[in-house]
Structure 1
Amino acid sequence: MLSVPSLEELQAAAHVVTLPMRVKFRGVTEREVMLFEGPAGWAEFGPFLEYDDVESAMWLASAVEAGWHGYPATVRDWVPVNATVPAVEPAEVAGILGAYDALHTVKIKVAEPGQSLAQDAARVGAVRHLLPDARIRVDANGGWDVDQAVQALRMLSVFGLEYAEQPVASVPEMAAVRRALSGAVLIAADESVRKASDPLAVARAGAADLLVVKAAPLGGVRRALEIVAEAGLPAVVSSALESSVGIRAGVALAAALPKLDYACGLGTVSLMAADVVSDSLVAISGGLAVRDVVATPALLAKFAAPPERRDWWLDRLRRTHALL
């Protein structure tokens, strides 16, 4: 286990920022995160506001790894990434895609609360119309039940899906959907890995064809690599809607995987209207170079969270640090 700096050292290195989004994503219009400048580089602690302290502690462990220990050795210096289309109306799809230089693969959000399967189909169809040769994957964030997922994925499969990410919430439900589809659509596990007390349960249950792994929720790059190795399934690395500092951890994970067969969901800085670094980690020629990033003092000041929000994050830091 990696050593943990003192609470006082983390507090002294902390910055809290509020970054506006270009478009609502996961219900978020502003992304609030805490950043640290550690001896090994910049690090991000950004569990979503509703996450409890136990889950958030994993994100802090990831930040400690990045800022105080650095990342493990890599096997590649470039990582292919996908574009991401939130649950927008079809007319907005072209504008979303226009922000990306990574259109060989597109992930599309579906099963948004309050939206219908017809709206999902229209959104996926709009992407397919604009990008007839792209790989398309959909992400339901566990929003369907088993019957809804099977019906939806059979319908959406006409657009040629690379895979469906977390169509249902639980591991048994994932296994049931996978059996019902009989290989017609590959199933990827996200929340069933990163939010589970046992991240390997999905592999043991035969509930997924591949894993979606995120460095921060799994406790850092090293732990995520261990989980992928033990699961024995192909992996896709994805973001948790971070700034470029947080995306750097995802790039480190993707670059260290022994095998990488899928484009990674690390292009989400393109969904943000602001960043904390002047040279953002956004896709060029369909991928991200493996490189370090440094927060820009002027941007940290410009997007600094108000004092009451900084106090909220410092209290969260105190509570989660006690769990490491």
Structure 2
Amino acid sequence: MTETGIPPLLDGLRIPEPDELLDGAVVVSQRMHTRFRGTTVREAMLLRGPAGWAEFSPFPEYGPAEGSRWLAAAIEAGWHGWPAPVRDRVPVNATVPAVPTADVGRVLDSFGEVPAVKVKVAETGRTGPEGVEEDVARVAEVRRLRPDADLRIDANQSWDHGTALSALPRLAEYDLEYAEQPVAGIQGLARLREALAAAGTEVRIAADESVRKETDPLAVARAGAADLVVVKVQPLGGVRRTLGIVAAAGLDAVVSSALDTSVGIAAGVALAASLPRLPYACGLGTVALFTEDVAEDPWIPDAGRLVVRDRPVPEAGALVRLRADEDRQRWWHQRLRTAWAELAATS
């Protein structure tokens, strides 16, 4: 245990050498139905270890330090496995990207019936008044089409304080379950949370980027900056480490996807299935955003839930169809090696 109370990466588990990790590795390129998080194509490196298939897929802009946490999660998954579950089903939310209002129904239909819906707001470049109007219209359409669903929004820390303070009371009229990372930074969240309370606006605040991008994820809880935390297995370094972070934070958690393939979603399900409390539906239904997944049996929710089962296995034909070109294979091989060097130096 570190001085901050956060478990170290892999916490004594063996770190295989790069050549062992890369033996049989393949990089896939999956297209998306709709632009999400600024991308229409998601690349991921799939690794095959003795415990099963694992995913290493830090976003392209992440450097070796961040990448080392994603690699630790892949090593845990493929070489060591996960803790035993305490539940056999995990509720999941639908995710509606920042699409025009006319497309909301199509996106929702791709998820089927779900207990909750997360709506993306504050799309990059659309964070001014016109963007807020579009966000309100999108949320209103989701509420119209899914009147009984729990509804949450995610701004990916794109609003400034003033915009968040004016937008959230309007969005709260649609009975929000919570607002995820409306502004940047721990202090930004704490300031906004205080201002909303003073204005009489009752909206729970969830921290995402302020947990997974900080060197001290527990700082959010200490600062009183959030009511709950959104946790993702790969960015936080694995299932065991994330369980330790949630326990130390003392806040309820929502388990979410990092836009993973079904192979990566398995780790998120393992985390959600292992948490002592799971009061919120999880953001683990994102495989539906891809035009094709790698798995023989993709982890698509059934009646708004993912069943805890044996982890997915990539389908041989899909690995051929989705395989990235050789330049991208080499790029990802080098990326894993630099992340491994960082992980080995800090573990």
Equivalent-residue separation in structure 1 for 2:285 and 2:77 (angstroms): 19
Contact persistence 1:238–1:250 (CA under 8 A): yes
Question: In the alignment, is residue 8 of structure 1 matched against residue 19 of structure 2?
Answer: yes
- Higher mean C-alpha deviation, range 93-102 or range 263-272: 93-102
Contact persistence 1:82–1:102 (CA under 8 A): no
Equivalent-residue separation in structure 1 for 2:14 and 2:161 (angstroms): 43
- Higher mean C-alpha deviation, range 79-88 or range 282-291: 282-291
In the comparison of the two structures, how many residue pairs are matched?
324
Shift of 1:299: 0.8
CA deviation digits over 1:68-119, x for unaligned, max 9?
0001111001000000000000000000001013432000000112221000
Question: In the alignment, is residue 124 of structure 1 matched against residue 143 of structure 2?
Answer: no
Contact persistence 2:296–2:312 (CA under 8 A): no
Match of 1:38 among 49, 58, 67: 49
The letter for the 2-side match of 1:141 is N
Shift of 1:146: 1.2
Equivalent-residue separation in structure 2 for 1:134 and 1:251 (angstroms): 21
1:175 paired residue number: 190
Contact persistence 2:114–2:303 (CA under 8 A): no
CA deviation digits over 1:41-65, x for unaligned, max 9?
0100000011111101100000000
CA deviation digits over 1:169-211, x for unaligned, max 9?
1100100111111261000000000111110000000000000
Contact persistence 1:238–1:266 (CA under 8 A): yes
Match of 1:143 among 158, 178, 187: 158
1:220 paired residue number: 238
Shift of 1:277: 0.5
Equivalent-residue separation in structure 1 for 2:24 and 2:253 (angstroms): 33
Corresponding residue SS for 1:217: helix
Match of 2:69 among 32, 48, 58: 58
Match of 2:93 among 79, 82, 90: 82
Equivalent-residue separation in structure 2 for 1:283 and 1:242 (angstroms): 15
Question: In the alignment, is residue 276 of structure 1 matched against residue 294 of structure 2?
Answer: yes
Match of 1:290 among 308, 312, 322: 308
Equivalent-residue separation in structure 1 for 2:94 and 2:186 (angstroms): 27
Contact persistence 1:97–1:103 (CA under 8 A): no
Contact persistence 1:81–1:102 (CA under 8 A): no
CA deviation digits over 1:231-287, x for unaligned, max 9?
000000000001000000000000000000000000000011011102100100111
Structure 2: tracts of 5 or more residues without a match = 1-10
Contact persistence 2:121–2:154 (CA under 8 A): yes
Question: In the alignment, is residue 191 of structure 1 matched against residue 209 of structure 2?
Answer: yes
Instruction: Kindly report the root-mean-square deviation, in angstroms, between the aligned alpha carbons of the 2 structures.
Output: 0.8
The letter for the 2-side match of 1:139 is D
Equivalent-residue separation in structure 2 for 1:102 and 1:31 (angstroms): 25
Structure 1: tracts of 5 or more residues without a match = none
1:312 paired residue number: 331
- Higher mean C-alpha deviation, range 127-136 or range 304-313: 127-136
2:178 paired residue number: 163
Corresponding residue SS for 1:235: strand
The letter for the 2-side match of 1:312 is W
The letter for the 2-side match of 1:140 is A
Shift of 1:131: 1.1
- Higher mean C-alpha deviation, range 4-13 or range 253-262: 4-13
2:7 paired residue number: none
Normalised by the length of structure 2, the TM-score is 0.92
2:260 paired residue number: 242
Structure 1 runs, 4 residues or longer, greater than 6 Å off: none
Contact persistence 1:13–1:38 (CA under 8 A): no
The letter for the 2-side match of 1:76 is R
Equivalent-residue separation in structure 1 for 2:90 and 2:246 (angstroms): 17
Question: In the alignment, is residue 259 of structure 1 matched against residue 269 of structure 2?
Answer: no
Corresponding residue SS for 1:98: helix
Equivalent-residue separation in structure 2 for 1:28 and 1:160 (angstroms): 30
Contact persistence 1:102–1:287 (CA under 8 A): no
Equivalent-residue separation in structure 1 for 2:247 and 2:141 (angstroms): 37
CA deviation digits over 1:126-162, x for unaligned, max 9?
1011111111000000001111111110111111100
Equivalent-residue separation in structure 1 for 2:124 and 2:112 (angstroms): 29
